[in-house]
Amino acid sequence: MRVLVAGASGVVGHPLVGALRARGHHVSALVRDGARAPEADEAVVADALDRASLLPAVSAARPDVVVHQLTALRLLRDDPAGAFAQTARLRTEGTAHLVEAARAAGARRLVAQSIAFAAAPAGDPVLDEDAPLYVDAPDPGWAATVRAVAELERQVLSGAGLSGLVLRYGTLYGPGTAYARTGGTGQRVLAGKLPLPGGGPGITSFLHVEDAVGAAVAAVESEATGLLHITDDEPATAAEWLPHYARALGAPAPRTVPAAMAPRLLGWFTAHQLTAARGASNGRARTTLGWKPLRPSWRDGLGAR
């Protein structure tokens, strides 16, 4: 099968190219910078935000399946606001261009990356894919991010002539992520700058990068459509995972602070994740995609060296 991976230089995209090639697929790696392209059957250099360059580049690759792994989150450490703004554009404008390019190239299928932690904080502690997204979050930045996610999902699932599947990844950990020892969150915990607010009732569903790659490979090779949460089997409160993570890093135990102080100390999004976020059930992915995580619990590697 001919597969084009957009965002092939990213944390998931890079190993995904190798995993697909190992399965015998012909893989085109779509990147903005050819110097960052992973080893692939061919490199396709184009900017997803530049429609005029993207359409002929994708057509030349002649993909059967297009995989959308586009984000700008590698900029997160140096320019958080810019990283989120650029990622929102990639999820809206970039998705529109990629859907159009895939159709024009004769692709039959589009698999796209989304997130499993954008649900509104209401209802059960662990939610399925039918739960509403937090498009009206009180923080303007997070509300804009969630609206961009909703628009990406809408476009992928309504792309005329394309079989669309959206993979909502849990909070990624492993090499190259914020939760690696050298990542932003890892460094924050090592410095003792990530406290536990209000007892840490917020729930996170984690996902190792290797399992994100495995799910994307399964998605390429399946005929499944719709929305799927791709997460591990153990949604965890911050009170559970944050002390464990600190111990694994050899960091100081996180201090506790009142929940009311959290937005000022941590920013709205981090405070929300640690105090109010819901987890995500992977039951539908197991049934529909026949996928299960090789690392069923974040305890198997969160903070590992």
HEC string of 77-91 equals CCCHHHHHHHHHHHH
Please, are residues 73 and 89 in contact by the beta-carbon 8 Å criterion? no
- What digits encode the pLDDT tens for the residues 166-214? 999 999 999 999 999 999 999 999 999 999 999 999 999 999 999 999 9
Please, are residues 202 and 263 in contact by the beta-carbon 8 Å criterion? no
Q: Which residues share a beta bridge with 26?
A: 2
Residue 290 has a CB neighbour count (10 Å cut-off) of 11
Tokens of 109: 């299928």
Please, are residues 168 and 228 in contact by the beta-carbon 8 Å criterion? yes
DSSP H helical ranges for the chain: 13-22, 51-61, 80-89, 95-105, 140-157, 184-190, 209-221, 238-249, 262-266, 268-275, 283-289
Backbone angles phi, psi at 123, to 5 degrees: 85, -150
Amino acid at 90: L
Tokens 């230089």, residue located: 9
* Integer Cα distance of 182 and 43 in angstroms: 29
Amino acid at 282: N
The three-class DSSP label of residue 37 is coil
- What digits encode the pLDDT tens for the residues 34-81? 888 899 999 999 999 999 999 999 999 999 999 999 987 665 566 677
Tokens 């359409």, residue located: 55
pLDDT higher than threshold 60 for residue 127: yes
Planar angle of CA 225, 292, 72, nearest 5 degrees: 65
Question: What is the rounded end-to-end Cα distance, in angstroms, of the chain?
Answer: 36
Q: What is the largest CA-CA distance in the chain?
A: 56
* Integer Cα distance of 20 and 29 in angstroms: 11
pLDDT at 59: 97
- Least confident window among 70-79, 93-102, 114-123, 242-251: 70-79
- pTM for the complete prediction? 0.96
Question: With bands split at pLDDT 50, 70 and 90, how would you rate the model's confidence at 303?
Answer: confident
pLDDT at 33: 86
pLDDT at 75: 54
* Integer Cα distance of 111 and 83 in angstroms: 22
pLDDT at 76: 54
CB neighbours of 35 closer than 8 A, spacing ≥ 6? none
> Which helix (H) or strand (E) covers residue 204, if one does?
strand 203-204
